[in-house]
């Protein structure tokens, strides 16, 4: 008897577009798998189903075109769960590692569901893992109402970046966010007023692509998210919604709400490796489709590891290049993000054997893609394999995380010897690094702290890392912290040490936010968030990493200091014809360098101080900076006021003074009547002279 099908028969389908595409009457599926012998498309009703509700075996004569397998399935649509099983030769020396007993998600899948019993180990060991495997979800992004929203495309000269973790921002019980929304895109929306009040113009979100939280030491989880599973799907656990497509709309709700507040969204993207790790790792996507295409390998089929995570994405293979470009385009076109920060971006300049390329195709693909024109592109211009390209990264559109700024400012302000020239260069957007390129000052992304390393509070509270909680015997994380504990290791009630630490935090904030370049501050540094000396909290999804909102009251003075600094930096003078921001004004200023005596800067090996007078091009305002990184007080001569606009100096900033005198609003600056300015040790002072109508 002929078997009667309960479903309309699948059709041949189309090779393009890749992924699962909702069409009239059904869904077209297309996937790249070069050397496999067979593919099954599995449809599921629930994330934790032990068996598929329907298995569609693709016929290589009908459903294969060159390297692409495709089919059209009628009468299904958005929300359908699916996965693949791929058969083929297992020949590790040729780089082939097909695993037909493993469920694979779609490399182009727009959404991913994670079953309650998800098990990373089940994807590593032999045997069927259907019930424990992630599944892809058919999505149709066309139906979302953006209400006229578009990427903001703000200039870098008016940009203040706030690096933050979507979940960690609101997970703490003190956040005031309802329990069901803590740690979600929706929870972040509730805290937008805080970001706007602080003056933030762009949030740089730690990875939000679907990642594997189980990629961590036993008993811990992957919190940061640098363990990507998908390059298209937003991380499902950051959604407060329970339906499979909820994360897409909730993410877009967040972007739209941030844009309404004038805040750009920059994504920290990880195109340098995946969570599949080395040959002992799980098989849940790329390895099962084309291991030798997606990963860089040596002649023996061994994974090359320039990421420190077991594998290296083969970014300059033409198939992988297409995937990366399609991913970036998707996040801009359909998710409206404003930019990307590329983790370990130097890996993108390596070939399939790990060798650096003079003209890496993927970098130029990104640089020249018209859909990415005007989108912020930021490179972390180094990798774990030793490639360091700060100052020499490719292209005209890319900005760079300036690791030299971080290290040199830390060193100078902690009173190390021999750093005066490098510190001065960092104040001026690092012309020793970028001057040969004749680029704008904003080429340098200036930061003191980021997710990777000490928080700013811990930078002034610990001499060494304390990562014992990571269960790696304190071996993980960098030992090169350039930190100083101000006389005591860890938290203390000593008022003198606390006052010094507070002053040092303000010094770091002042240099970051007033130096030429594009400033970036780390979530919670404005309220002295601590990780108790842990400088590698990637696996700490707990109060150690979360933003403790109780700190806002406890350290209101540093929060106020940061807020007023940002307001001054981003504001423009209403009477100025060019409406320049402070950053632009200083970039065009005439500079005079001094030490404690006018026109006599101390640039010796033992120098710990510098002074700078910046005359605006119009002559309407003058700034005089005094930086004392020495441990004793110094008296700085002030330029005579008779030639100054307004004829008098007024104090704006003095980090040695208690709040609210540490930074004074523009309309209340006190007059300085002395010819010298007394500045205690480890303090920064800034005085201003200006025409009264400015």
Query: What DSSP designation does 349 have?
Result: G
Same domain, 622 and 664: yes
Interval 463-493: pLDDT, tens: 999 999 999 999 999 999 999 999 999 999 9
Alpha carbons within 13 A on the beta-carbon side of 394: 20
- Tell me, what's the pLDDT at 579? 53
Interval 600-618: pLDDT, tens: 999 999 999 999 999 988 8
Same domain, 559 and 635: no
Name the pLDDT band for 436 (thresholds 50, 70, 90).
confident
Interval 439-463: pLDDT, tens: 788 899 999 999 999 999 999 999 9
Instruction: Please check the confidence at residue 269 and state whether its pLDDT lies above 50.
Output: yes
Same domain, 83 and 215: no
Contact 123, 99 (CB under 8 A): no
Q: Is residue 495 a part of any domain in this protein?
A: no
What is the CATH classification number for the domain harbouring 626? Answer: 2.60.40.1180
Interval 387-431: pLDDT, tens: 999 999 988 899 999 999 999 999 999 999 999 999 999 999 999
Q: Is residue 477 a part of any domain in this protein?
A: no
Burial classification of residue 648, based on how many CB atoms lie within 10 Å of its CB (0-12 exposed, 13-18 middle, 19 or more buried): middle
Mean pLDDT of the chain: 94
Residue 642: partners with Cβ closer than 8 Å, 6 or more residues away: none
Q: Is residue 315 a part of any domain in this protein?
A: yes
343 is a catalytic site residue: yes
Same domain, 534 and 683: no
Bond into 17 cis (ω within 30)? yes
Q: Is residue 114 a part of any domain in this protein?
A: yes
Residue that finishes a domain, picked among 83, 109, 143: 143
Same domain, 340 and 404: yes
Same domain, 534 and 611: no
Write out 162-188 in H/E/C secondary structure: EEECCCCCCCCHHHCCCCCCCCCHHHH
Q: Is residue 487 a part of any domain in this protein?
A: no
Query: What DSSP designation does 638 have?
Result: P
Taking the C-alpha atoms of residue 653 and residue 688, their distance in angstroms, rounded to an integer, is 9
Name the pLDDT band for 1 (thresholds 50, 70, 90).
very low
Interval 191-220: pLDDT, tens: 999 999 999 999 999 999 999 999 999 999
- Of 302, 295, 288, 290, nearest in space to 316 by CA: 295
Contact 161, 523 (CB under 8 A): no
Residue range 654-661: average pLDDT?
A: 98
Q: Mapping DSSP to helix (H, G, I), strand (E, B) and coil, where does residue 295 land? A: strand
- Tell me, what's the pLDDT at 2? 44
Instruction: Please check the confidence at residue 259 and state whether its pLDDT lies above 90.
Output: yes
Residue 75: partners with Cβ closer than 8 Å, 6 or more residues away: 7, 8, 25, 26
What are residue 52's phi and psi, to 5 degrees? -75, 145
- Tell me, what's the pLDDT at 575? 40
Instruction: Please check the confidence at residue 693 and state whether its pLDDT lies above 80.
Output: no
Provide the pairing of β-strand 339-342 with 264-269.
Answer: parallel
Q: Is residue 489 a part of any domain in this protein?
A: no
Of 343, 404, 440, 557, which is the active-site residue? 343
Same domain, 109 and 256: no
Instruction: Please check the confidence at residue 630 and state whether its pLDDT lies above 50.
Output: yes
Taking the C-alpha atoms of residue 520 and residue 501, their distance in angstroms, rounded to an integer, is 20
Same domain, 133 and 266: no
- Tell me, what's the pLDDT at 619? 81
Q: Where are the alpha helices (DSSP H) in 456-494?
A: 456-459
What is the CATH classification number for the domain harbouring 185? Answer: 3.20.20.80
494 is a catalytic site residue: no
Taking the C-alpha atoms of residue 41 and residue 49, their distance in angstroms, rounded to an integer, is 15
- Tell me, what's the pLDDT at 580? 61
What is the CATH classification number for the domain harbouring 77? Answer: 2.60.40.10
Name the pLDDT band for 3 (thresholds 50, 70, 90).
very low
- Of 138, 120, 135, 128, nearest in space to 72 by CA: 138
- Tell me, what's the pLDDT at 577? 41
Angle 404-632-479 from CA coordinates, rounded to 5°: 35
Q: How many domains does the chain have?
A: 3
Instruction: Please check the confidence at residue 583 and state whether its pLDDT lies above 90.
Output: no
Same domain, 259 and 327: yes
Taking the C-alpha atoms of residue 525 and residue 335, their distance in angstroms, rounded to an integer, is 29
Least confident of 182-186, 274-278, 333-337, 663-667: 663-667
CB count in 10 Å sphere of residue 256: 18
Alpha carbon separation from 344 to 163, 185, 401, 577, 641 (Å, rounded): 16, 25, 10, 41, 49
Of 215, 276, 365, 380, which is the active-site residue? 380
Taking the C-alpha atoms of residue 313 and residue 565, their distance in angstroms, rounded to an integer, is 40
Name the pLDDT band for 570 (thresholds 50, 70, 90).
confident
Interval 76-112: pLDDT, tens: 999 999 999 999 998 999 999 999 999 999 999 999 9
Instruction: Please check the confidence at residue 433 and state whether its pLDDT lies above 90.
Output: yes
Least confident of 297-301, 547-551, 575-579: 575-579
Write out 514-568 in H/E/C secondary structure: HCECEEEEECCHHHCCCCCCCCCHHHCCCCCCCCCCCHHHHCHHHHHHHHHHHHH
- Tell me, what's the pLDDT at 587? 75
Percent of the chain residues topping a pLDDT of 90: 89
Residue 652: partners with Cβ closer than 8 Å, 6 or more residues away: 568, 663, 664, 666, 669, 686, 687, 688
Structure tokens given for 444: 């340098």
Bond into 660 cis (ω within 30)? yes
Same domain, 530 and 594: no
- Tell me, what's the pLDDT at 380? 97
Distance of CA 559 to the CA centre of its chain: 22
- Tell me, what's the pLDDT at 578? 47
CB count in 10 Å sphere of residue 128: 15
- Tell me, what's the pLDDT at 572? 58
Same domain, 416 and 536: yes
Structure tokens given for 338: 């404003």
Q: Where are the alpha helices (DSSP H) in 102-221?
A: 185-190, 192-198
Taking the C-alpha atoms of residue 265 and residue 259, their distance in angstroms, rounded to an integer, is 8
Same domain, 535 and 634: no
- Of 411, 421, 589, 430, nearest in space to 507 by CA: 411
Beta strand spans in 109-230 (E): 111-113, 135-137, 161-164, 202-205
Q: Is residue 464 a part of any domain in this protein?
A: no
Distance of CA 366 to the CA centre of its chain: 18
- Tell me, what's the pLDDT at 490? 97
Contact 624, 652 (CB under 8 A): no
Range of 115's domain? 19-143
Contact 58, 40 (CB under 8 A): yes
Structure tokens given for 42: 């599995």
- Tell me, what's the pLDDT at 6? 62
- Of 610, 631, 624, 685, nearest in space to 425 by CA: 610
Q: Is residue 314 a part of any domain in this protein?
A: yes
Residue range 500-505: average pLDDT?
A: 98
Percent of the chain residues topping a pLDDT of 70: 97
Residue that finishes a domain, picked among 88, 116, 143: 143
- Of 105, 101, 102, 129, nearest in space to 117 by CA: 129
Instruction: Please check the confidence at residue 573 and state whether its pLDDT lies above 50.
Output: no
Q: Mapping DSSP to helix (H, G, I), strand (E, B) and coil, where does residue 257 land? A: helix
Q: Mapping DSSP to helix (H, G, I), strand (E, B) and coil, where does residue 489 land? A: coil
Name the pLDDT band for 585 (thresholds 50, 70, 90).
confident
């Amino acid at each position: 008897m002929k078997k009667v099908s309960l479903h309309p028969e699948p059709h041949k389908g189309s090779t393009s577009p890749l992924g699962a595409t909702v069409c009239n009457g059904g869904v077209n599926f297309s996937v790249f798998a070069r050397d496999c012998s067979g593919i099954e498309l599995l449809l599921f009703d629930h994330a934790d189903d032990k068996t598929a509700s329907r298995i569609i075996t693709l016929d290589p004569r009908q459903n294969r075109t060159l390297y692409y397998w495709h089919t059209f399935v009628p009468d299904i649509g958005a929300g359908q769960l699916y996965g693949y099983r791929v058969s083929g030769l297992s020949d590790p020396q040729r780089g082939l590692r097909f695993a037909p007993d493993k469920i694979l998600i779609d490399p182009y899948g727009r959404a991913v569901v994670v079953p309650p019993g998800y098990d990373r180990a089940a994807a590593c060991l032999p045997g069927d893992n259907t019930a424990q495997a992630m599944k892809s979800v058919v999505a149709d992004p066309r139906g979302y109402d953006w209400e006229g929203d578009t990427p903001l495309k703000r200039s870098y000269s008016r940009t203040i970046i706030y690096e933050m973790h979507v979940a960690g921002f609101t997970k703490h019980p003190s956040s005031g966010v309802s329990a069901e929304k803590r740690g979600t895109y929706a929870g972040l929306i509730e805290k937008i007023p805080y970001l706007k009040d602080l003056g933030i113009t762009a949030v740089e979100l730690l990875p939000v692509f679907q990642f594997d939280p189980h990629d961590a030491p036993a008993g811990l989880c992957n919190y940061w998210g640098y363990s990507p599973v998908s390059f298209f799907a937003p991380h499902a656990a950051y959604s407060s919604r329970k339906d499979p497509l909820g994360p897409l709309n909730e993410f877009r709700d967040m972007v739209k709400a941030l844009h309404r507040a004038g805040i750009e969204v920059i994504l920290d993207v990880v195109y340098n490796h995946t969570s599949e790790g080395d040959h002992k790792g799980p098989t849940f996507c790329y390895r099962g489709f084309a291991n030798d295409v997606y990963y860089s390998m040596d002649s023996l089929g061994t994974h090359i590891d320039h990421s420190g995570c077991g594998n290296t994405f083969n970014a300059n293979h033409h198939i992988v290049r297409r995937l990366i470009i399609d991913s970036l385009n998707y996040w801009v076109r359909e998710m409206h993000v404003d930019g990307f920060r590329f983790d370990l971006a130097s890996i993108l300049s390596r070939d399939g054997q790990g060798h650096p390329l003079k003209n890496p195709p993927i970098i130029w693909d990104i640089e020249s893609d018209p859909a990415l024109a005007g989108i912020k592109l930021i490179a972390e211009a180094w990798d774990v394999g030793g490639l360091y390209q700060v100052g020499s990264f490719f292209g005209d559109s890319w900005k760079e995380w300036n690791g030299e700024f971080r290290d040199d400012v830390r060193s100078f302000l902690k009173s190390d010897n021999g750093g005066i020239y490098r510190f001065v260069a960092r104040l001026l957007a690092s012309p020793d690094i970028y001057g040969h390129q004749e680029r704008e000052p904003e080429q340098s992304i200036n930061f003191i702290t980021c997710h990777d390393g000490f928080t700013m509070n811990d930078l002034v509270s610990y001499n060494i890392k304390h990562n014992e909680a990571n269960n790696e015997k304190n071996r993980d994380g960098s030992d090169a912290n350039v930190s100083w504990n101000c006389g005591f290791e860890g938290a203390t009630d000593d008022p003198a040490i606390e006052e010094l630490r507070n002053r040092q935090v303000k010094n770091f904030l002042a240099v970051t936010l007033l130096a030429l370049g594009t400033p970036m501050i780390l979530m919670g540094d404005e309220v002295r968030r601590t990780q108790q000396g842990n400088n590698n909290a990637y696996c700490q999804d707990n109060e150690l990493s979360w933003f403790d909102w109780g700190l806002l009251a406890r350290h209101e003075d540093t929060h106020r200091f940061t807020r007023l600094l940002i307001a001054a930096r981003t504001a423009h003078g209403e009477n100025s014809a060019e409406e320049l921001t402070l950053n632009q004004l200083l970039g065009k200023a005439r500079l005079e360098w001094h030490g404690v005596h006018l026109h006599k800067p101390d640039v010796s090996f033992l120098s710990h101080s510098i002074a700078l007078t910046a005359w605006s091009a119009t002559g309407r305002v003058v700034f005089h900076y005094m930086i004392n990184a020495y441990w004793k007080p110094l008296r700085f001569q002030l330029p005579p006021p008779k030639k100054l606009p307004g004829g008098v100096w007024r104090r704006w900033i003095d980090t040695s003074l208690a709040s609210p005198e540490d930074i004074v609003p523009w309309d209340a600056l006190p007059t300085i009547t002395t010819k010298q300015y007394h500045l205690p040790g480890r303090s920064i002072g800034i005085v201003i002279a200006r025409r009264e109508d400015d």
